[in-house]
Structure 1
Amino acid sequence: MDRIVGYIASSLDGFIAAPGDDLDWLFRYDGMYLGAHDYNIFLKRIRTVVMGRGTYDFLEIDPSPWAYGQQRVIVVTSQPIKAPKDTLEIRSDADELISELRSLQDGDVWMLGGGQLQMAFLKRDALDELEIYVMPNLLGGGTALFPATGLRANAQLISAQALDRGCVRLHYAFKLTSTGG
């Protein structure tokens, strides 16, 4: 069984996007040195990318080239995507998807994007590890890293590391013992 992992950046005050889904604060860190934790190194071990509809819609309007041509891409949504930006699959049942992902043995699965889908997987004990890159910015509002869902869970710290430009990498494993949600 391959791991289901998260890899995400957050502001110091816990937001992944400023109001209006603005990521300009994060783009200022393009080119930041992350060493062995660099995004391109991370992406090489990923065989399947799973994202929610909001993340897909954000990427769809981005003029950058599609970055996931080497991976299988799954969008979790109940609505059809009329003209996909690239080859992708659509799933609407999270439980069936998790069962399918747990049977894979070709590389890790990345939960790309915001916290809603990650929380849905956490509630089902289906997020194995999470890397959070905390940037030294206070956004004062926006999209929370983890939306309030009532889920209470414990994570085990694997490592914490100071990186370039004041970024801190936090790496956690989840062996959930949920207490609510």
Structure 2
Amino acid sequence: MARILGYIATSLDGFIAAPGDNLEWLFRYDGMDLGEHDYGRFLRRIRTVVMGRGTYDFIAKDDGPWAYEQQRVIVVTSQPIADPKGALETRGDIDSLIAELRGLGDGDVWMLGGGRLQMAFIERGALDEIEIYVMPELIGGGTPLFPATGFQITPKLLSAQALDRGCVRLHYAFPPARSDGRPPDLRSVGP
């Protein structure tokens, strides 16, 4: 069964992008030494990348080559994608997608991009772990790490580590869905 993982950077004040989807604040950290947690190392162990339509549209605007040639890519959208930037598949139903992803046996799945899709997976007990890289920046507004949905849960902290240039890596595990397929109880994974 595939593990479904998050790997995301956030500002200290809890935003993944400044207004207008601006990432200049994050690009200042390009080349930062993350050691064993380096993005390239993480991506090599990923077989399937799942992203929402907003993330896909943001990535597709970049002039560079498609970064996910080595992975299967699934975009969650209700609209067709004309002339996709790279090889990809689309899905419209999150519950069916979760069942499909859980049936994979060829490697881990990465939930790429914003917190809305990650929150939809968390609410269904389908995000196993997340690595959050907190950057020492206050950007004052923008896209929040997670949208305010009213959902409450207490993930288990697996590790916290100070890295290069003031970045802190937080690694959490989430409780799985209940055996009846319903979301996890609003409880902790562990102490």
Shared fold per TM-score greater than 0.5? yes
Deviation at residue 2 of structure 1 after TM alignment: 1.6
Aligned twin of 2:100 = 100
Deviation at residue 178 of structure 1 after TM alignment: 3.9
TM-score normalised over the length of structure 1:
0.97
| 2-structure distance, mates of 1:157, 1:91 | 31
Give yes or no for the alignment of 1:14 onto 2:14.
yes
Partner amino acid for 1:179?
L
Deviation at residue 37 of structure 1 after TM alignment: 0.2
Give yes or no for the alignment of 1:69 onto 2:69.
yes
For the aligned residue pairs, the C-alpha RMSD in angstroms reads 1.1
For 1:140-179, what aligned pairs fall within 5 Å after superposition? 140-175=140-175, 177-179=184-186
For 1:68-147, what aligned pairs fall within 5 Å after superposition? 68-147=68-147
Aligned residue for 2:109, secondary structure, equals strand
Deviation at residue 65 of structure 1 after TM alignment: 1.4
Give the conservation status (yes or no) of the 8 Å contact 2:154–2:186.
no
Structure 1 residue ranges (4+ consecutive) displaced by more than 3 angstroms after TM superposition:
176-180
1:83-108 per-position Cα deviation (integer Å, ceiling 9, x unaligned): 10011000000000000000111110
Q: 1:76 to 1:90 in 2, by over 3 A?
A: same
Aligned residue for 2:25, secondary structure, equals helix
Partner amino acid for 1:8?
I
| 2-structure distance, mates of 1:62, 1:150 | 34
Count of aligned pairs between the two proteins: 180
Could you tell me which runs of 5 or more consecutive residues in structure 2 were left unpaired when the two chains were aligned.
177-183
Give the conservation status (yes or no) of the 8 Å contact 2:19–2:141.
yes
| 1-structure distance, mates of 2:134, 2:63 | 26
1:25-82 per-position Cα deviation (integer Å, ceiling 9, x unaligned): 0000000000000000000000000000000000010112111000000000000101
